[in-house]
Chains A and B, each alone.
Chain A
């Protein structure tokens, strides 16, 4: 059946129908805006599926990447314990806490009596939660209570009052004491759509036409960050589809997902299976659109997570499990236009803006979160309020 509206990420059923429709409208606005930002010849190469029922039979293409951040692998190439530990700390940005987990996958390791008790992973973009907060505070509260902690109150989730009342994504239940959705500033749903749209443009640079080198592709079109595993692979995959003459979009439901949680390499106590420990909490495992997963001992067991071995090592950090997580977005491609568009000149974004090099990032994140006196880590903040759409 042709697409009727954009569904909520992971096909969740959190919202009443009117809000589902409103969410669809928001996705539509974003797609229209991204298309408008493209060179005229490329607008049909990033298509709006609501306008193209014939795309129903388009090819759905999973584009996968590693969930554990590239920058921590490069920062600690030898000492994996330092790598795991550093990746789990809470850092400070403009006085606010962030997890430096930038592959659209964030996790929190819960400890009990100093020992690892549970690890929760999320890949839900912050915009969806901001959207719920703006439209129905009660739904937001009940979801937080359901997934994070039953004791949560509205006062925990909002700041200010009256017109200044605003959802606080950095609330303690999404930072220090719990995890509900992504907060790393680059981990947004909008970034995903922007990246997919921007990557459709075929580029030429000097004598090279088309540009296929990832660094040049990112620099020419200004999408994503090359320091990550995710953005270069998404961008390159989208661009190669357009080079084949295909039009692309993000498959419904638009979202960032956990595709697979590896079990090979995880050894659990005798009598149990790894699947007794991995629990998919939100989203759909069979469809590869997992939004939230948890690794914890089976209920009614006396097993300690430190009885679990991951890659030959005692499970001590959630990061060890993050290395077993495969992320995915789903592109959709079909032949809409007969000709491949002319390559556009490289726009040299790398010369125009300060691109955070790996080194710069590493130097900046040496401050752990601890209050407003912490040095800023220099990342852009999440833009939540959708003012450019309203």
Chain B
């Protein structure tokens, strides 16, 4: 098999790989009046851009100590490793970039036309009176698209605030106008606002972080279990390896026909301008916690009143909607004793292989759930990642090519479940959805427009009611989902509300360090 590549860790922005994961983050969207001051600003910001090397170095120290102390999650950011960090990553909007090069436009038509133009295709409301309609967005519609987008991050909140203020002052100094900003923060237990643990299933990316190719980005822990040469290769149980070109330009891509053999990037994707860069999608998604619990409870009661479905409790009902219980445990595991296993170790179509790990531990197969008796076909995690299932969009090898890296972070104060009347509950909250991929059209947009928002795809069992939208004409946004039991009985439930409303966003290109340097050069020597 082809050797995995060295990933240029001094070139790739750190939030792409390995990801900031910082508990405190801040997003800023800016508009540029002219290119005059841009090279000055980029010259200032360039040494501050956090690379993959810096993010990896911190992650290694932090994770290593956290493992020793058996500390997990947000608490690990309080450990006495590097502290008071301030990280910055940035992206460029299409209109700004087009003044310099069309390479990013040529690589992805969706980037070229932009999020606002693609909004309705993503199921966003076409009704101008609806909050989710792009006309009402706080950022990202045709009138307020961001040219530059920044993600700043720190291990401590006051530091983030202070240092971000410095950045904002610099932006102002260079006459770059801030049109949007929002602070994000990881919630306790790494949950999103509906209370479910988030960010569990990320792609396990191939490649090495040293030029000698001795240190893989994704640690390998399988001694036996990867025997089928045409099957997926796992770094660890449940962690299917994917070629990096799906997420970062300039590397071999995942083939739609083979799990293990990569395919070359296209000529367009090989352009030096794109190398080590990635497309970033930002969607500000407002979450309505009260509506989520109110509506799902009504749905649950309808299901519970149906013969053949009475044994399901409310928490399991919610787990079926999401595909995981609140602690992240996959609902596929129901009635299987998997307590010591990784939460990603499951498939839908076939049982997982038996793995022997490097330390000799044997991980027995996890039973699949092809029919969706445990994890319904409409469950969020099954819609966005059907794993080993063939779908309406091709073979299971095709599905792997749609994966995205998610780097989202919640915004707003957590909902106070203990006191419904707490005024805090009326405040806005949601998810600052961020994802990286090398094709917006064939990855993110495909997941949303072809699966999440489509009730009969990949399987005719309903919408992803957690985040899906029905943007079809004359259907008033009504969604449905269908439960099935072991006797083949089904129960269809309707939902008139949406729990998630898009309130802004943008498509951006996040270039490599070298490409930012080349942009500065272009700005210094504009083509006449």
Contacts and interface: CB of A to CB of B under 8 A. Distances in A.
Contacts of B114: 312
B143 to A, nearest CB: 16
A275 B114 CA distance: 26
A226 interface: yes
A59 B230 contact: no
Interface in A223-239: 226, 228-229, 232-233, 236-237
A1 interface: no
A269 B428 CA distance: 34
A213 B230 contact: yes
Contacts, number: 130
Contacts of B212: none
Contacts of B228: 208
Given A229-B394, A312-B113, A263 B473 contact: yes
How big is the B interface, by class? Answer: 35 or more
B473 A265 contact: no
A78 B392 contact: no
Interface string A237-272: 100100110000000000000011011111100000
A228 B390 CA distance: 12
Interface in B392-414: 392-398
Q: Is the interface of B mostly helix, strand, loop or mixed?
A: loop
Contact of B457 (A64, A79, A244, A275): A64
B362 interface: no
- Which of B109, B266, B392, B441 counts the most chain A CB atoms within 10 A? B392
A236 B397 CA distance: 13
Contact of B371 (A212, A244, A260): A244
Nearest to B258: A215
B392 A233 contact: yes
Given A213-B231, A215-B230, A59 B488 contact: yes
B117 A229 contact: no
A185 interface: no
Contact of B395 (A215, A240, A309, A311): A215
Contacts of B471: 263-265
A265 B457 contact: no
A275 B257 CA distance: 37
A19 interface: no
Q: With a 10 A CB-CB cut-off, give which of B122, B388, B456 has the most chain A CB atoms.
A: B456
B76 to A, nearest CB: 39
A323 B122 CA distance: 14
Contacts of B113: 311-313
B460 A273 contact: no
B299 interface: no
B449 interface: yes
A298 interface: no
Nearest to B269: A78
A96 B474 CA distance: 43
B515 interface: no
Contacts of B306: none
B393 A229 contact: yes
Nearest to A278: B473
Interface string B430-451: 0000000001011000000110
Nearest to A334: B488
A73 B228 CA distance: 28
Given A64-B460, A66-B392, A215-B395, A311 B121 contact: yes
Contacts of B349: 212, 236, 240
Contact of B453 (A77, A226, A264, A274): A264
A81 B471 CA distance: 25
Given A78-B266, A78-B269, A212-B349, A229 B392 contact: yes
Given A64-B460, A312-B117, A326-B457, A233 B394 contact: yes
* A interface SS class: mixed
Interface in B368-424: 370-371, 388-398
A254 B269 CA distance: 43
Nearest to A216: B230
A70 B118 contact: no
A84 B286 CA distance: 35
A65 interface: yes
Interface in B266-311: 266, 268-269
Given A59-B488, A78-B108, A80-B441, A265 B120 contact: yes
Contact of B473 (A78, A229, A275): A275
A79 B393 contact: no
Nearest to B439: A77
B488 A312 contact: no
Given A64-B392, A78-B269, A232-B394, A265 B121 contact: yes
A64 B230 contact: no
Given A59-B488, A265-B449, A79 B474 contact: no
B216 interface: no
Contacts of A381: none
Given A260-B456, A264-B121, A326-B456, A78 B394 contact: no
A95 interface: no
Contacts of B474: 273, 275
Contacts of A214: 390, 395-397
A139 interface: no
A79 B256 contact: no
B107 interface: yes
A62 interface: yes
A55 interface: no
B212 to A, nearest CB: 32
Given A66-B450, A240-B370, A260-B456, A77 B394 contact: no
B32 interface: no
Contacts of B126: 264, 267
A77 B264 CA distance: 12
B473 to A, nearest CB: 4
Contact of B350 (A66, A212, A233): A212
B175 interface: no
A212 B439 CA distance: 28
Nearest to A78: B268
B454 interface: yes
A208 B349 CA distance: 13
Nearest to B268: A78
Nearest to A266: B120
Interface in A37-89: 59, 61-62, 64-66, 70, 73-74, 77-81
B450 A263 contact: no
A328 interface: yes
B181 interface: no
Residue from B268, B389, B395, B441 having most chain A Cβ neighbours under 10 A: B395
A358 interface: yes
B266 to A, nearest CB: 6
Nearest to B349: A212
A24 to B, nearest CB: 27
A81 B441 CA distance: 13
Contacts of A311: 113, 117-118, 121
Contacts of B389: 236
B472 interface: yes
B439 A70 contact: no
Closest 4 CB pairs of A and B: A312-B117, A265-B121, A264-B471, A236-B390
Given A77-B442, A265-B121, 12 more contacts: A64-B458, A77-B269, A232-B394, A236-B389, A262-B472, A264-B120, A264-B126, A265-B120, A273-B473, A275-B474, A312-B114, A313-B109
5 contacts: A208-B228, A236-B389, A244-B371, A265-B120, A265-B449
